[in-house]
Amino acid sequence: MSVLDFLTGGDSNNVEVPKLEEYLPLIEASAQINRVDQDTPYGSVKYNTTYNEPQSFDIWSGQNPTSGAPMGFDEWKSKQVDRRGRSNGRDSRLWYDSYVDDNPGPQGAYNDYVQNFDRGVGETTATHTFSPEVQSLWEKQWTPDSYQNYSDDYMSRYSELMQPDRDYRADRFEQNMFDRGQPVGGEEYGAKYRQTIGDPNARQDVMAAGQAANAADVARLQDYNRLATAMGLSQVNVPQVDTMGAANMAMNANIANAQNSQQGSSDLWNAIGTAGGGYLQGGGWWS
């Protein structure tokens, strides 16, 4: 220990910045404050922190067998005798209370275990859920045949619009064949039917089926774009978790205290030097 340490009552060479573990409570408190549950029309973010939990009494007592409840005062007092059967002076109520404190029994020991249980800093998870509307878009997007109804609706409307014209052309064709004396099922009747009715209708149906499939794809793409937009909007702007703000404030305060301590030591040495110089200039102890 230096002279300065002797004068100041401290150790000027042992000034240390506290360890990180000392700041963990501040870090955890800062993190918890920054974890804010958020809700939007598109989705939400919820935080949940779980901590270590003490064991139940049954499990704990099974793993940590302890003595039964402490004996009563009279029984305890009767045992506080020496070899000659005389009281050894430790049979007072005060000594008995001390004995009970040291032997709390299973329930008392368990209560002490629970009271001093270290729950830890906790483990936090963030759960992101979509709103029901966005969730339905998501599920529909990846469900097979979920857009088949668009194709079916297209073909149903197509048939509804085309059938009257087809019926009219079919009637005219049959009348024309009848006027020409061509019976149904005849060779010329079949050739003419394919040329004027069958093939044109088939070509139209093939084109309509392609358009129907395209309608489903367009609907799926539109929903996908809406889903992408909604998912982008549902990315709630979660604030950055500041885990070191409070710890840095405490660390800076400790550093400032250390610097002040060192400055005070330096000032003390300067004062001692000045006093010594004045003493010497005044003649010292030999004058």
Dump pLDDT digits (tens) for 64-119: 776 566 777 777 777 777 666 566 666 677 777 777 777 777 777 788 888 888 88
| 220-223 own/partner pairs: CB under 8 Å, 24+ apart | 220/141, 220/147, 223/137, 223/140, 223/141
Sorted by sequence, the CB contacts under 8 Å of residue 108 that are 6+ apart come out as none
Which of 76-90, 150-164, 184-198, 242-256: highest mean pLDDT? Answer: 150-164
Which residues on adjacent β-strands are paired with residue 38?
45
Cβ-in-10-Å burial (0-12, 13-18, 19+) of 10 comes to middle
pLDDT at site 53: 92
Q: pTM for this structure?
A: 0.44
3-state secondary structure of 229: helix
12 pLDDT band, cuts 50/70/90, is very low
Residue with the larger pLDDT of the pair 204 and 67: 204
Written as one letter, the residue type at 22 is E
Helix ranges (H only) for 18-144 are: 24-34, 57-63, 73-78, 93-102, 105-115, 132-141
Strand ranges (E), the chain: 38-39, 43-50, 123-130
Written as one letter, the residue type at 123 is E
What are the pLDDT digits (tens) for 169-194?
A: 888 888 888 888 877 877 788 888 88
Least confident of 91-105, 201-215, 260-274: 260-274
Written as one letter, the residue type at 284 is G
CA distance 195 to 199: 6
Sorted by sequence, the CB contacts under 8 Å of residue 123 that are 6+ apart come out as 49, 50, 51
280 pLDDT band, cuts 50/70/90, is very low
CA distance 151 to 218: 10
Which residues on adjacent β-strands are paired with residue 202?
none
pLDDT of residue 18 exceeding 50: yes
pLDDT at site 86: 63
Residue with the larger pLDDT of the pair 175 and 256: 175
**161 contacts 176 by C-beta, under 8 angstroms:** no
pLDDT of residue 237 exceeding 60: no
- Rounded to an integer, the average pLDDT of 47-69 is 81
Residue with the larger pLDDT of the pair 265 and 113: 113
Token digits for 251?
């660390």
**10 contacts 96 by C-beta, under 8 angstroms:** no
**51 contacts 118 by C-beta, under 8 angstroms:** no
pLDDT at site 257: 72
Sign of the four-CA dihedral 178, 181, 184, 186:
negative
What's the whole-number average pLDDT of the chain?
75
267 pLDDT band, cuts 50/70/90, is low
**150 contacts 215 by C-beta, under 8 angstroms:** yes
